A and B are shown apart, each in its own frame.
Chain A
Amino acid sequence: MGFLFEDDNFALFRDGFLQTIELSALSALLALLLGTLLAAFRVSPVPVLRAFGTVWVTLFRNTPLTLLFFAVTFGLPRLGVHLSHLTFAVVALGGYTASFVCEVIRSGINTVPLGQAEAARSLGMSFGQTLTLVVLPQATRTVLAPLSSVFIALPRNSAIAGAFSVGEIFSTQQAFSEKGYSIFAIFFWVACAYLLISATVASLFRFLESRLAVAR
């Protein structure tokens, strides 16, 4: 267990930990933006946009994340796109998670009872008012719980980036294994790091939920 505090192992571990957090935060941001855009497409009154959103989500949700990382890391350079490994990882992870975010948001909007919007419109509210005052506040509350499981899964999925040349916790695990430390000790510390991250994300979402909760 103590190997972490020998030599400069702790610096290596800390760098990996910070890189995982950076990668997860950037991917979460991309996933949230892209996912919201796709959700807007999927509930729009224009059939072409709806079809585009549906096809996009179906493709990305059914592709293994490893294959996506593979396609981005090895495929894009063939097309003349040369970016850092971290950027490639953010594109793959963010694009993959965006399709899940889209589905969560879309189903959240669909759980708002039709009568709510009809009542708002019959009171003379405009589209913008209906959306921001009636539909979205209710949808946000239903969306938070499933969204939290999507964003708890994201840092876990980010481990795959380590196998594609991003220096995060998984590649730290590989480096320690090659140095010959006990696999159980390494696993213990890596497990602690991931448990810490997912506990933080979970408590963040619990905080949001309690802030937004209303008596019904």
Chain B
Amino acid sequence: MSPFNRTATASVLYDAPGPRARARYRVFGVLSLIGVAGLLWFVYATLDDKGQFNPALWDVFQYNTVQQRIVDGLLATLEAFGLAAAFSLTLGALLAAGQLSDHKPVRWACTAVVQFFRAMPLLILIVALYYAFFATDPMWALVLGLTLYNGSVQAEIIRSGVNAVPRGQGEAAYALGMRKTQVMASILVPQAVRSMLPSMISQLVVTLKDTSLGFIITYHELLFVGKAIASQPTNSAGFPYIPVVLVIGPIYIALCLLLTALARWIEARGRRGANRRTSTAA
């Protein structure tokens, strides 16, 4: 067994198995395989039994107009996500700068804003914005709500990243005669962003998932389109709620996994760069 497998199998809990333990694990393996297969079969059988694989129920997806609506919904989701991502990163940078400010009132105000919007349920925020300002244009209620909430979270991520840079870095820069702005912009923030990029991207995954809240304020994003397709009473086979979930769910999951893969790739790249630098320094 290679040393890499040792950590991968979480062996803090048990020793490397001997022949008898391996035989026992094989028995457990076969039993749990039967269990999982039984569970999957049960799900399939229930769906089949209730006629959810009836081709007539899936007919809607063959119409070009329906396909076009799903694509439009996906684009609307991505539009809200793109705007919210850009705005929340900007707001997060501003709030983090405020929280790290030398002026007490600025620091307090920014901290209060961050704490308040982090504690607020996003849905409450979005619906309040929708009723108060954007009753005709739900997209901006969604984007603004997402921006306020995720901006606050991003601010906390950036702030903790800046604080996690070794203190000697900032002190050395001050000793070289740099001003606070210079220290921040050219020493602390680049290092903080590098170490915090994976967390920032996982927060972007949360932003992407939360765009589906637009469904509740009638923004025509993917889930809203799905509900509209599912509740059309045109089909004789019934309402295709489950087919719609089986089509839309994988789209969301694929988008989130793509973003997560991006985060992993950046993390691996960052680590490689750091290693290269330490090896040349040594």
Closest CB-CB distance, A182 to chain B, in whole Å? 9
CA distance A181 to B15 in the complex (A): 65
* Stretch from A4-12, A30-38, A87-95, A183-191 contacting the other chain: A183-191
CA distance A58 to B13 in the complex (A): 23
Q: Is the interface of A mostly helix, strand, loop or mixed?
A: helix
Which residues of B lie under 8 Å from residue A83 when comparing CB positions? none
Closest CB-CB distance, B57 to chain A, in whole Å? 10
Question: Cβ of B121 < 8 Å from any Cβ of A?
Answer: yes
CA distance A65 to B209 in the complex (A): 8
Q: Is the CB of B223 within 8 A of A110?
A: no
* Stretch from B60-68, B124-132, B168-176, B266-274 contacting the other chain: B124-132
Question: Cβ of A214 < 8 Å from any Cβ of B?
Answer: no
Number of interface residues of B (CB under 8 A): 56
Q: Is the CB of B124 within 8 A of A78?
A: no
Q: Is the CB of B25 within 8 A of A191?
A: no
Closest CB-CB distance, A208 to chain B, in whole Å? 20
Which residues of A lie under 8 Å from residue B252 when comparing CB positions? 62-64, 67
Which residues of A lie under 8 Å from residue B253 when comparing CB positions? 58-59, 62-63
Within 8 A of A (CB), among B107-123: 116, 119-123
Known: A75-B245, A79-B46. A194 touches B32 (CB 8 A): no
Chain B window 1-31, contacts with chain A (Cβ cutoff 8 Å), 1 for yes, 0 for no: 0000011011111110100010001001100
Closest CB-CB distance, A201 to chain B, in whole Å? 11
Which residues of A lie under 8 Å from residue B132 when comparing CB positions? 183-184, 187
Q: Is the CB of A52 within 8 A of B123?
A: no
By size class, the interface of chain A is 35 or more
Q: Is the CB of B212 within 8 A of A66?
A: yes
Closest CB-CB distance, B15 to chain A, in whole Å? 6
Q: Is the CB of A160 within 8 A of B213?
A: yes
CA distance A160 to B211 in the complex (A): 13
A157's nearest neighbour on chain B, judged by CB, is: B121
Q: Is the CB of A109 within 8 A of B13?
A: yes
Within 8 A of B (CB), among A48-83: 48-49, 52, 58-59, 61-67, 70-71, 74-75, 78-80
CA distance A78 to B132 in the complex (A): 37
Q: Is the CB of B9 within 8 A of A45?
A: yes
Name A170's contact: one of B21, B127, B215 (CB within 8 Å).
B127
Closest CB-CB distance, A45 to chain B, in whole Å? 5
Q: Is the CB of A48 within 8 A of B36?
A: yes
Which residues of B lie under 8 Å from residue A159 when comparing CB positions? 121-124
Name A67's contact: one of B12, B36, B248 (CB within 8 Å).
B248
Q: Is the CB of A43 within 8 A of B241?
A: no
Question: Cβ of A101 < 8 Å from any Cβ of B?
Answer: no
A binding-site residues for B, Cβ under 8 Å: 42-43, 45-49, 52, 58-59, 61-67, 70-71, 74-75, 78-80, 106, 109-110, 112-114, 116-117, 121, 127, 130-131, 135, 152, 155-160, 162-163, 169-170, 173-174, 177, 183-184, 186-187, 190-191, 194-195, 198
Q: List 27 A-B contacts (CB under 8 A).
A: A46-B28, A48-B33, A48-B36, A52-B32, A62-B252, A63-B249, A64-B212, A66-B212, A67-B248, A67-B249, A70-B215, A71-B242, A78-B239, A79-B47, A79-B52, A79-B242, A80-B50, A109-B10, A114-B6, A117-B11, A131-B13, A152-B119, A162-B123, A163-B216, A170-B123, A173-B124, A183-B128
